[in-house]
Chain A
Amino acid sequence: MPNRSHWYWLLLVPIVIPLSTPLFNSKTPELFGFPLFYWLQLAFVLLGVGCTAVVHLKTKREG
Chain B
Amino acid sequence: MPNASDHVTELIVFTTLFAIVSGLGFVAARWRRAESLDHLDEWGLGGRNFGGWITWFLLGGDLYTAYTFVAVPALVFASGAIGFYAVPYTIIMYPIVFMVMTRLWSVSYRHGYVTPADFVRGRFGSPTLALLVAITGIVATMPYIALQLIGIEAVLKVMGVHGHLPIIIAFLILAVYTYNSGLRAPALIAFVKDTLIYLVIIVAVIVIPYKLGGWGFIFGSAEQALAQTNPKTGLPRGSILLNANNQLQYITLALGSALALFLYPHSLTSVLAAKNRDTIRKNMSALPAYTFLLGLIALLGYMALAAGIKPVTSGGKADTNTIVPQLFDQMFPNWFAGVAYAAIAIGALVPASIMSIAAANLFTRNIYKEYLRKDASARQEASVSKLTSLVVKIGAVAVILFLDPQFAIDLQLIGGVLILQTLPAVAIGVFTRWLHPWALSTGLVAGLAVGIGMLYQIPNPNNGKAHFGGSAYKLALAGFDSDKQIYVGFVALLVNLVVVVVLTAVLRSAGAPQGVDATAADDYEADRGTADATV
Q: Which residues of A contact B (CB under 8 A)?
A: 8, 11-12, 14-15, 18-19, 21-22, 25-27, 30, 32-35, 37-38, 41-42, 44-45, 47-49, 51-53, 55-56, 60-61
Contact = CB atoms under 8 A, between A and B. Distances in A.
Contact of A41 (B88, B282, B284, B285): B88
B87 interface: yes
Nearest to B530: A61
A56 B281 contact: yes
Nearest to A1: B525
B288 interface: yes
A55 to B, nearest CB: 7
Contact of A14 (B81, B92, B255, B292): B92
A21 B242 contact: yes
Interface in B289-303: 289, 291-292, 295, 299
A33 B216 contact: yes
B291 A45 contact: yes
A42 B215 contact: no
B247 A48 contact: no
B264 interface: no
Given A15-B96, A21-B242, A51-B95, A56 B81 contact: no
Interface centre among B214, B247, B288 (most CB of A within 10 A): B288
Given A18-B92, A21-B242, A35-B241, A8 B219 contact: no
10 contacts: A8-B99, A18-B88, A19-B251, A21-B247, A33-B217, A33-B219, A37-B241, A52-B94, A56-B98, A56-B281
Given A33-B214, A44-B87, A49-B285, 6 more contacts: A12-B95, A18-B88, A37-B240, A38-B299, A44-B88, A56-B98
A25 B242 contact: yes
B91 interface: yes
Contacts of A45: 87, 91, 288-289, 291-292, 295
Nearest to A27: B241
B366 to A, nearest CB: 31
Contact of A19 (B92, B99, B216): B92
Q: Is the interface of B mostly helix, strand, loop or mixed?
A: helix
Nearest to A44: B91
B84 interface: yes
Contacts of A27: 240-241
Contact of A21 (B98, B99, B251, B282): B251
Interface residues of B, number: 38
A61 B532 CA distance: 15
B448 interface: no
A28 to B, nearest CB: 11
B241 A25 contact: yes
Interface of B: 81, 84, 87-88, 91-92, 94-96, 98-99, 214-219, 240-242, 247, 250-251, 254-255, 278, 281-282, 284-286, 288-289, 291-292, 295, 299, 527
A56 B241 contact: no
Contacts of B288: 45, 48-49
The 8 closest A-B pairs by CB, nearest first: A33-B215, A33-B216, A11-B95, A18-B88, A53-B285, A52-B285, A48-B91, A15-B92
Contacts of A19: 88, 92, 251, 254-255
Contacts of B92: 14-15, 18-19, 48
B254 A41 contact: no
B284 to A, nearest CB: 5
B84 A15 contact: no
Nearest to A12: B95
Contacts of B87: 18, 41-42, 44-45
Contacts of A41: 84, 87-88, 295
Contacts of B255: 19
A47 B95 CA distance: 11
Contact of B81 (A30, A37, A42, A53): A37
Contacts of A34: 215, 219
Contacts of A37: 81, 84, 240-242
B98 A32 contact: no
A24 B250 CA distance: 12
B282 to A, nearest CB: 6
A20 B214 CA distance: 29
Contacts of A56: 98, 281-282, 284-285
B225 to A, nearest CB: 15
Given A25-B242, A35-B219, A45-B288, A18 B98 contact: no
Contacts of B99: 8, 11
Given A8-B99, A49-B288, A18 B91 contact: yes
Nearest to A50: B285
Contacts of B241: 25-27, 35, 37
B216 to A, nearest CB: 3
Nearest to A34: B215
